[in-house]
Chain A
Amino acid sequence: MKVVKGLYYSNDHEWVKVDGDFAFVGIADYAQNHLGDIVYVELPDVDDELEKEDSFAAVESVKAAADVYLPVAGTVVEVNEALEDDPALLNADPYANWIIKIRISDKAELDDLMSSEEYEKFLAEEE
């Protein structure tokens, strides 16, 4: 499983890339691999205010569906509309294709997440 350095990771296999007061959020390689061919991504609305652990998107394959949970609270400022037309982008490169961009409410919440090294260890234990 590919793990990109410099990102934060959650137990539910979401990643967070911090950019000033903002962050991009997506799903990790493990998650896309687990789901198989992704056929649809349900996106939230811009301006949705979300709590930590709120489900903000759903990713569907033919035989499975998964809710995507927000690792840190924030307000949606942008959604990746390219995923609506081509959900397979998440299979092709889940790290380059973020799902939403948020304005982070409380940066301290990032401390609860894993670093890429910790996430790699976590994956090893999951296997």
Chain B
Amino acid sequence: MKDYDKLIFEISKSGRKAYKLPPLDVEEQNLETIIPGEFLNDEELNLPEVSEVDVIRHYTNLSNKNYGLDTGFYPLGSCTMKYNPKINEEVCRYSGFTNVHPLQSEDCAQGSLKLMYELQESLCEISGMDKMTLQPAAGAHGEVTGVLLIKAYHEKRGDTKRDKIIVPDSAHGTNPATTAMAGYSIIEVKSNKDGLVDLDALRAAVGDDTAGLMLTNPNTLGLFDKGIKEITCIVHEAGGLCYYDGANMNAIMGYARPGDMGFDCIHYNLHKTFSTPHGGGGPGAGPVGCKEFLAEFLPVPVIEKSEDRYFLDYDYPNSMGKVKDFYGHFGILVRAYAYILSMGSDGLKKASAMAVLNANYIKEKLKDYYYLPVNTLVKHEVVFDGLIEKNGITTLDVAKRLLDHGYHPPTIYFPLIVNEAMMIEPTETESKETIDGFIDAMIAIAKEAESDPEILKTAPHDTIVRRPDETQAARNPVLKYEG
């Protein structure tokens, strides 16, 4: 069914139904007698009419147009596309988890609260933080929550002239957007030739207007910043606080902790490090942890325990408030906790070790074909700057050709400080055989770049669509089906 190209609206046929309700068992009243006519819509709804078989076939066909982790290797740098264990999907569907209303009384939700409490504790231990909120819905949401913790801290001390957040130039694009969301402006500090934070540039950037620093370590080049203690010291001495972007936690679990590096707060991406599915773009979860002195500012409620009872604690008078409805993406939290239990302290450490092993192995095998801006030990990911022998071939061409080889391409053109960046993060769940297969494909492409560059420039050749025209999409936006 490779050629299936219908929208659900195009298979609609008047009179079809995919749904049957029980007959109305209360006395039916004319709708206008219960809701005044001026509120009612007297037109028909413009929704499709399909049978249940139509629904299933349609979406099954669409699913066949997708490449998922279960299809094959997915080395998207910075995204930690590790395998999504099936037990996670099973346990989160237990009726005791899915069929509980968020406003049911606490004694009806002791299991959920206990799970959340234990997850908070586990995440604190892994990061070296003292307190954790599970409320943020995603990494970016966690970032803004973390920066708001910093803001609340300065505000409480009356230190309101601090209005700048320092971000290295290798940072995720989200970091600057987050600072703006939190009402701050950014100062970007350049990286040094080794791809690490330039300490002199940082010293020059801090001052009495420094609210904080946002940093990921290992950074987006996959490098552990050896100067980390000095970095956090410089910021602290200037009166700022240090925020750890936990996007790259998969590199260091059990080996090092942001809390021991001098960071004051962090966010996690449960959909990266803790194996919850990416779901085609969400939902994820972005818990935020902090040191004790920031705990009073956490969003409410925080899950607490008193003897054997778990409860939602709203008694945080200095809280920043709420950052989303209810308590967080509970269904995602269940999956992440299942993963932590399955892996244990030993498994998490092993996961980081094998993730780093895989990344370094790829680096060694490909560095004669692809340009390595910094040749040193990497952590969970490696960034190349395009082909060594470019021959007019861009990173985009390489990525598109990888599709023909059956691989999801790496993250491309990020980080911005590497022009032809291809950012490869294999994760620990990929075997040597899988990685060798990918390496062979990358080498074959490098050879093609010399022998037959045209085949790369016109790639992909075997996919259901080929290089959709993004310029046209943005110039003349068609954002819905018009019939």
Contacts and interface: CB of A to CB of B under 8 A. Distances in A.
Interface string B453-483: 0000000000000000011001100000000
A88 B472 CA distance: 11
A39 B471 CA distance: 6
Interface string A37-49: 1011000000000
A74 interface: no
Contacts of B475: 37, 39-40, 87-88
A88 B474 CA distance: 12
A60 interface: yes
Interface string A72-84: 0000000000000
Q: Which of B413, B470, B471 has the most CB of A within 10 A?
A: B471
Contacts of A62: 470-471, 474
A60 B475 CA distance: 10
Provide the main secondary structure of the chain B interface. Answer: helix
Contacts of B470: 62
Nearest to B471: A37
A60 to B, nearest CB: 7
Contacts of A61: 471
A88 B413 CA distance: 24
B256 to A, nearest CB: 35
A60 B444 CA distance: 36
Interface residues on B, range: under 10
A62 B396 CA distance: 14
A104 B471 CA distance: 35
Contacts of B413: 63
Interface in A51-77: 60-63
Interface string B392-423: 00000000000000000000010000000000
Nearest to B476: A39
Nearest to A39: B474
A63 B474 CA distance: 10
Nearest to A86: B475
B403 to A, nearest CB: 19
B431 to A, nearest CB: 35
Contacts of A63: 413
B280 to A, nearest CB: 21
B16 to A, nearest CB: 39
Nearest to B470: A62
A40 B471 CA distance: 10
A83 B474 CA distance: 14
Nearest to A63: B413
Nearest to A40: B474
Contacts of A40: 474-475
Nearest to A60: B474
B396 to A, nearest CB: 10
A88 B475 CA distance: 9
A95 to B, nearest CB: 21
A87 B472 CA distance: 11
A29 B475 CA distance: 20
A103 to B, nearest CB: 31
Contacts of A37: 471, 475
A30 B470 CA distance: 22
A39 B474 CA distance: 6
A61 B475 CA distance: 9
Contacts of B474: 39-40, 60, 62
A58 B124 CA distance: 44
A63 B419 CA distance: 14
A61 B474 CA distance: 8
Interface string B436-447: 000000000000
Interface string B35-73: 000000000000000000000000000000000000000
Interface string B185-212: 0000000000000000000000000000
Q: Which of A37, A40, A87 has the most CB of B within 10 A?
A: A37
Q: Which of A39, A40, A88 has the most CB of B within 10 A?
A: A39
B367 to A, nearest CB: 28
Contacts of B471: 37, 39, 61-62
Interface string A94-126: 000000000000000000000000000000000
Nearest to B413: A63
Interface in B323-368: none
A43 to B, nearest CB: 16
A60 B470 CA distance: 13
Contacts of A60: 474
A37 B476 CA distance: 13
A39 B413 CA distance: 20
A63 B173 CA distance: 13
A107 B413 CA distance: 43
Contacts of A39: 471, 474-475
B95 to A, nearest CB: 46
Given A39-B471, A87-B475, A88-B475, 12 more contacts: A37-B471, A37-B475, A39-B474, A39-B475, A40-B474, A40-B475, A60-B474, A61-B471, A62-B470, A62-B471, A62-B474, A63-B413
15 contacts: A37-B471, A37-B475, A39-B471, A39-B474, A39-B475, A40-B474, A40-B475, A60-B474, A61-B471, A62-B470, A62-B471, A62-B474, A63-B413, A87-B475, A88-B475
Interface of A: 37, 39-40, 60-63, 87-88
Would you list the 3 A-B pairs with minimal beta carbon distance, nearest first? A39-B474, A37-B471, A39-B475
